[in-house]
Amino acid sequence: MPEKKKFGTFAGVFTPSILTILGVIMYMRLGWVVGNAGLLGAIGIIIIAHIIAVTTGLSVSSVATDKKIGAGGIYYVLSRSMGIPIGGSIGIALYVGTAFSIALYLIGFSESFNSFFGYGMSVNDFRLTGTIALTALTVLALISTSVALKAQFFILAAIALSLISVFLGTTEFAPQSVPLFATEGAVPLEVVFAIFFPAVTGFTAGIAMSGDLKDPKKSIPVGTLAAIGTGLLVYILLAIFMAFAINPDLLKSDYNILMKMAFFAPAVVAGIWGATLSSALGGILGGPRILQAMSIDKVTPRIFGKGNGKNNEPVNALFMVFIIAEAGILIGELDVIARVVSMFYLTAYGFINISYFLESWANPDFQPSFKIKRWIGLLGFIACFVVMFKLDMIAMMAALAVITALYFALQRKEVKIQSNDVWRSVWENVVNKGLKKIDEKDDENMNWNPNIILFSGKSDHQKYLLELGKTVSGRTGIVTNFKLILDKKNDIPLRKAEQTVRDENFKELGIFARQIKVDNIYSGITNIASTFGFSGVEPNTIMMGWPKGLENSTEYSKMTETLLHLDYNLLYLDFDRKAKFGNYKTVDLWWRETDSKNAEMMLNIARFIIASPKWNNPDIRVLFVNNNNVDIEVIHEKIARLVEDLRVNVEIKIINNAVEQKPFYDIIAEESARTNLTLVGIPNYRIEKQAEFVLKTNHLFETIGSTLLVKAANNFNELDLDLIRSESTVADG
**In whole angstroms, what is the distance from residue 251 CA to residue 41 CA?**
14
Compute the Cα dihedral for 515, 518, 522, 523 and give only its sign.
negative
Give the model's pLDDT for residue 724.
47
In a shared domain, residues 336 and 482:
no
Residue 436 lies in a domain: no
Tell me which residue range forms the domain holding 543: 451-711
Give the model's pLDDT for residue 731.
39
Helix (H) or strand (E) holding 346: helix 334-362
Distance from the Cα of residue 291 to its chain's centroid = 24
Short-list 532, 538, 529, 534, CA closest to 560: 529
Residue 202 lies in a domain: yes
In a shared domain, residues 418 and 464:
no
In a shared domain, residues 419 and 474:
no
Helix (H) or strand (E) holding 652: strand 651-656
Structural contact between residues 31 and 37, judged by C-beta atoms closer than 8 angstroms = no
Residue 722 lies in a domain: no
**In whole angstroms, what is the distance from residue 508 CA to residue 494 CA?**
25
Q: Among 423, 443, 474, identify where a domain stops.
A: 423
In a shared domain, residues 330 and 402:
yes
Looking from the CA of 345 toward its CB, the CA atoms found within 13 Å total: 28
Residue 635 lies in a domain: yes
In a shared domain, residues 385 and 458:
no
In a shared domain, residues 461 and 414:
no
Residue 476 lies in a domain: yes
**Phi, psi of 425, rounded to the nearest 5 degrees:** -65, -40
The residue ranges of the chain whose pLDDT is under 50 are 1, 418, 445, 724-733
Which residues lie below 8 Å from residue 229, measured CB to CB, with a gap of 6+?
none
Residue 651 belongs to a domain with what CATH number? Answer: 3.40.50.12370
DSSP labels, 295-337? HHTTSS-GGGG--BTTTTB-HHHHHHHHHHHHHHHHH--HHHH
Residue 438 lies in a domain: no
**In whole angstroms, what is the distance from residue 593 CA to residue 624 CA?**
8
Which residues lie below 8 Å from residue 206, measured CB to CB, with a gap of 6+?
12, 13, 14, 15, 16, 17, 219, 220, 223, 224, 227
Give the model's pLDDT for residue 425.
67
Structural contact between residues 710 and 588, judged by C-beta atoms closer than 8 angstroms = no
Short-list 311, 213, 305, 212, CA closest to 3: 311
Helix (H) or strand (E) holding 455: strand 451-455
3-state SS record for 574-633: ECCCCCCCCCCCEEEEEECCCCHHHHHHHHHHHHHHHHCCCCCCCEEEEEEEECCCCCHH
Residue 348 belongs to a domain with what CATH number? Answer: 1.20.1740.10
Q: What angle do CA 241, 247, 253 make, to 5 degrees?
A: 110
Give the model's pLDDT for residue 732.
42
In a shared domain, residues 356 and 483:
no
CA torsion 435-437-440-441 (nearest 10°) is -100
Give the model's pLDDT for residue 730.
35
- What is the bridge-based pairing of β-strands 707-711 and 569-574? antiparallel
Give the model's pLDDT for residue 439.
62
Task: Give burial (CB, 10 Å; 0-12/13-18/19+) of 661.
Answer: exposed
Short-list 709, 485, 471, CA closest to 589: 709
Short-list 632, 635, 607, CA closest to 620: 607
**Phi, psi of 596, rounded to the nearest 5 degrees:** -60, -45
In a shared domain, residues 612 and 700:
yes
Give the model's pLDDT for residue 67.
65
Residue 733 lies in a domain: no
In a shared domain, residues 466 and 343:
no
Q: How many residues does the chain have?
A: 733
Q: How many domains does the chain have?
A: 2
In a shared domain, residues 201 and 110:
yes
Residue 440 lies in a domain: no
In a shared domain, residues 20 and 107:
yes
**In whole angstroms, what is the distance from residue 351 CA to residue 79 CA?**
11
In a shared domain, residues 462 and 399:
no
Torsional class of 725: left (φ above 0), alpha (ψ -120 to 50), beta (otherwise)? left
Structural contact between residues 557 and 579, judged by C-beta atoms closer than 8 angstroms = no
**In whole angstroms, what is the distance from residue 13 CA to residue 230 CA?**
13
